[in-house]
Amino acid sequence: MTKVTTSGFEDSRTHGFARVAVCIPKVHVADPARNASSHLKYLKKVYREGAVYALCPELGLSAYTCGDLFFDDTLQRSCEDALGDIAVATEQMSMLLSVGLPIRVGSLLLNCAVTLYRGKPVAVTPKSFLPNYREFYEQRWFAAAKVCTTPEIELIGEVVPIGSDIIVEARHIPGFALHTEICEDLWVPIPPSARAALSGATVLANLSASNITVAKSEYRRTLVIGSSARNLAVQMYAAAGFGESTADLAWDGEGLIAERGHLLSETERFSLAGSSAIVDVDLGAVAQDRMRQTSFADNVVDAGATFRRIVCGEGEDAREPAVYNSFLRVVDPHPFVPADSAKRDERCREVFSIQATSLARRLEALPDESRRLVIGVSGGQDSTHALLVAARAVDLLGLPRDRILAITMPGLGTTDRTRNNARHLSEALGARLHEVPIGELSEEVFRIVEHPSEVEDLTFENVQAWLRKLLLFSMASRHRALDLGTGDLSELALGWCTYGGDHMSHYGVNAGVPKTLITYLIRWATERVFGDDKKLVGVLMDILATPISPELKRPDGNGEIAQRSEDVIGPYELHDFFLYHFLRFGAEPGKIARLCLHAFDGRYDLATIRRWLIVFLERFVRSQYKRDCLPGGPKVGSGGALSPRGDWRMPADATADIWLEAARRIPEQLPQQSVSDRD
């Protein structure tokens, strides 16, 4: 094979990921040698694909449906021989793997998971809870883990620890700590894996047989996803597939891999030849979540247990590093906006409802004569969405919409398009409309502070923003109303707002909503809430088509918007991606950039990502003083918010140096690679 040139930056392992797999081999009842061969087919496959751990089903070397044949000495010895065959065949593989077989320990027969590394067994886990109801009859054949009191057994020539209290740590995989359990163990109220997670296990693996019945797959998914969420862990699951006896039961071979409440990968069900699933799991994010969720640590004290730790991980990985230069994982380029249309609609409905009911509650707390809203309407997306939310809030309270005072304040940068859209929007929604031009006021302030009005600098922009806020607060005072802020989460993160200007209000209804979601919220509201009003729909669609701009600089020669936000600060979709991974996981810049490169899949090159990530980090850190005095506003998503009373607290005089240094170490382009064709 041609030598592959690779970079530490490209390698998924550099950024805290580990590649894991679920293997569902075809089953041959009571034929361990053929089962070993079936296992090796998939174990070798996922090893070539870069797996560092592979999980196989319960009693896979014997088959789950052997019945009283489990008692037979020949079957038991054949299973151990099959385990030996797998050990020999995998001794050169730097991959942990877990397989299932019956093992006799003294007078006990145990349903076991055996974990091997480089051809040697490193841990044996007996099943703790044996189902003996409905179609299950396991207590006829097997003893529970608690009955086995010996701490070690001899297996294929090695002395191996045995018990349900074992965590296998891989020193060559940072953050990898494996706990195995078997089928029913995950279905009981307090699974062994839950205690293992509290004791430090990050990868929870369940070897299962699990016959299939109607709706059982859905329940399994709920169970696996819930375990990964509750335990802040990776939860893997492998159920027996085609080949098990169908005398009374059926089998679908479902394999699942979930991480922190999200299903990442699954096998093909009902495959006659078997199947596998492989994915990169984020062990760095697991560690971050456990560190941040302090109740997890508290629970360790109350419910944790003492677990033995087995450490393995010797030898070099013989696989080409380039196998890890591509992620085997879906990374959403728009983490705040679900890609699935049904889920996106549900997200928009939820966010819109959170915003509208939160505003209604704030209004309800005021005297009746003060249940009024003043809102600056610019014809841009943020103020449009805030006005839609305001309309819904007063509707919920049974108040007339003329309780909303919509103020348009055309300035030196306002175009006819946005001015007309602001008017038409306010009128269509039934708000009271006032237009207060600020051009002459701005020119007078420039004269007073001796600033040339032809110089379109920061002062030129800030004066207009401050005048608008002065007028809005004045109107709110005059009408005993609440000034409704329109700035969004992305603008607050980047400091793309004027301190004391558009950054301030009595209540910031959009403060928890990122820019990328605002667009979809308006589109959703257009279709689902206000779709019957054709005039309003037309205005909203034109607003969505208008370039995003604060309109604080004069229009171009054609009267069109000259100041486009994304030309100055970069694409909002990139900044929202950066924000999500920085705020939600505390990810370091190199990891954010690598994930971004994968997520956008060629839409942005590495140099572009690096450039705007540096801008994000610079602006985010130096803009904290603006976030320190934010008005109230609802948090709407699990991705985080920036209120100093909520998700985010940091000193305003912090320096961004260490993050910027890390970002500048990101290469501007990937190295050229030479890779031969692979089988």
Q: What is the pLDDT of residues 98-126, one digit of tens each?
A: 999 999 999 999 999 999 999 999 999 99
Q: Quick one: 317 and 375 in the same domain?
A: no
Q: Quick one: 285 and 422 in the same domain?
A: no
Beta strands 203-207 and 234-238, pairing class: parallel
pLDDT at 195 over 70: yes
pLDDT for res 8: 87
Q: Which amino acid is at 237?
A: Y
- What sections of 495-643 are H helices per DSSP? 515-528, 534-545, 565-569, 572-585, 589-600, 606-622, 624-627
- Pick the catalytic residue from 26, 127, 469, 635: 127
480: nearest Cα among 358, 363, 371: 371
Residues 124 and 145: their CA atoms lie apart, in Å, by 11
pLDDT at 602 over 60: yes
Q: Quick one: 424 and 308 in the same domain?
A: no
pLDDT for res 249: 93
Residue 657 within any structural domain of the chain: yes
Q: Quick one: 369 and 261 in the same domain?
A: no
What is the span of the domain harbouring residue 551? 341-664
Q: Quick one: 441 and 531 in the same domain?
A: yes
Q: Quick one: 262 and 379 in the same domain?
A: no
Q: What is the mean pLDDT of the chain?
A: 94
Residues 595 and 372: their CA atoms lie apart, in Å, by 45
Residues 485 and 469: their CA atoms lie apart, in Å, by 10
Q: Quick one: 319 and 347 in the same domain?
A: no
Q: Write the CATH number for 487.
A: 3.40.50.620
Domain stop point among 263, 298, 324 = 324
Q: What is the mean pLDDT of residues 579-608?
A: 96
| DSSP code for 140 | G
Q: What is the mean pLDDT of residues 438-465?
A: 96
Residue 650 within any structural domain of the chain: yes
pLDDT for res 306: 87
* Counted domains in the chain: 2
Q: What is the mean pLDDT of residues 482-489?
A: 97
Q: Quick one: 59 and 195 in the same domain?
A: yes
Q: Is 58 a catalytic residue?
A: yes
Q: Quick one: 556 and 634 in the same domain?
A: yes
pLDDT for res 670: 87
pLDDT for res 386: 97
In the chain, what percentage of residues exceed pLDDT 70?
Answer: 97
Residue 237 — very low, low, confident or very high, per pLDDT cuts 50/70/90?
very high
Domain stop point among 293, 324, 355 = 324
Residue 378 — very low, low, confident or very high, per pLDDT cuts 50/70/90?
very high
Residue 480 within any structural domain of the chain: yes
Q: What count of residues does the chain have?
A: 679
Q: Quick one: 306 and 365 in the same domain?
A: no
Q: Quick one: 406 and 306 in the same domain?
A: no
- Pick the catalytic residue from 10, 26, 58, 320: 58
Q: Quick one: 206 and 249 in the same domain?
A: yes
Q: What is the mean pLDDT of residues 418-426?
A: 95
- Pick the catalytic residue from 23, 112, 183, 348: 183
pLDDT for res 313: 87
Chain position carrying tokens 């055996």: 114
Q: Please report, for the chain, how many H helices and E strands are present, in that order.
A: 21, 20
Which pLDDT tens digit goes with each residue over 307-361?
Answer: 999 999 877 788 988 999 999 999 999 999 999 999 999 999 999 999 999 999 9
Residue 598 within any structural domain of the chain: yes
Q: Is 346 a catalytic residue?
A: no
Residue 675 within any structural domain of the chain: no
pLDDT at 440 over 50: yes
Domain stop point among 324, 359, 394 = 324
Q: Which long-range contacts (CB under 8 A, 24 or more apart) does 214-223 make?
A: 217/252, 217/254, 217/269, 220/254, 220/256, 221/256, 221/263, 223/186, 223/187
Residue 237 within any structural domain of the chain: yes
Chain position carrying tokens 């260490």: 658
pLDDT for res 675: 37
The kind and range of the H/E element at 176 are none
Residue 334 within any structural domain of the chain: no
pLDDT for res 325: 93
628: nearest Cα among 611, 613, 610, 645: 645
Q: Is 44 a catalytic residue?
A: no
Q: Write the CATH number for 128.
A: 3.60.110.10
Q: Give yes or no for a contact between 596 and 574, defined as CB atoms under 8 angstroms apart.
A: yes
Residue 678 within any structural domain of the chain: no
Q: What is the mean pLDDT of residues 640-668?
A: 94
